[in-house]
Amino acid sequence: ALPRDLEGVRVVVSAGGTREPLDPVRYLGNRSSGKQGYALARTAAQRGARVTLVSAHTVGLPAPAGVDLVHAGTAEELRDAMHAASPNAGVVVMAAAVADFRPSTRAEYKIKKTDSDPDPVSLTRNPDILAELVAVRAPGQVIVGFAAETGDSNADVLEHARAKLKRKGCDLLVVNAVGEGRAFETEDNAGWLLSADGGERPIELGSKAHMASDIWDAVAQLIQQ
């Protein structure tokens, strides 16, 4: 049986990949399946939390039992949903793959090959939602970020990740080493869990539910402090 160590804790989890529209039929998207975020939401609910799951696009995942599901298509919609849900949460987890850029304009009609502009896509930076949530965090709120890093070595990956944790200001950073049957479009994940106090531990290769348990163990420890 799972521990009930999140009993009554309000948790907000974002999941999936945003889609940034170009015109009525096209978007900029990414390969996030949503599985890790959904596993986090499901596990938190099983451990007693009151969970809001803010979901961008997924591979058609069903809503986990006992979770409030809110849909968000674009980064800006996801941002609004996170700011609405987070103020009275004890824990906020940004597992969504948020597009860093969106098309600067959304064409009202489908862009045609014959349109005179040879390069019709110009991009605008999306807000960094995680950094914003850290900036307005409630006292005692625990904030968890994700990082999908590539590098020549584990030391490389961890160095980037440590810098990201500092820059973003969150309490925990889940680091996925991308590639080789891990992270995107797979059932399994592996990586490290970095904490703001300098802690660092590996998460062994396993199911996304297994990774979710490790993450909630670390969060529960922080809450109890």
Q: Is 156 annotated for ligand binding?
A: no
CA distances (Å), origin 148, targets 21, 61, 97, 157, 223: 24, 21, 9, 9, 25
Provide the token pair at 165: 């944790």
The site map against ligand C5P for 86-125 (x = CB under 6 A) is --------x-x-x-x-------------------------
The verdict on whether 30 is a catalytic residue reads: yes
Residue 9 vs 96, nearer CB to ligand C5P: 96
Find the binder of ligand C5P among 19, 145, 194, 213 (CB under 6 A): 145
Residue with tokens 């990586």: 191
Considering only 102-110, 143-151, 189-197, 207-215, which stretch makes contact with ligand C5P by CB under 6 A?
143-151
Q: Is 61 annotated for ligand binding?
A: no
Catalytic residue among 30, 126, 176, 189: 30
- Note whether 74 binds ligand C5P by CB under 6 A: no
Which burial class, exposed, middle or buried, applies to 80 when counting CB atoms under 10 A from its CB (0-12, 13-18, 19+)?
A: middle
Provide the token pair at 43: 């596990």
Alpha-carbon distance of 44 to 168, in angstroms, equals 23
Where does this chain bind ligand C5P (CB under 6 A)? Answer: 75, 94, 96, 98, 100, 126, 128-130, 145-147
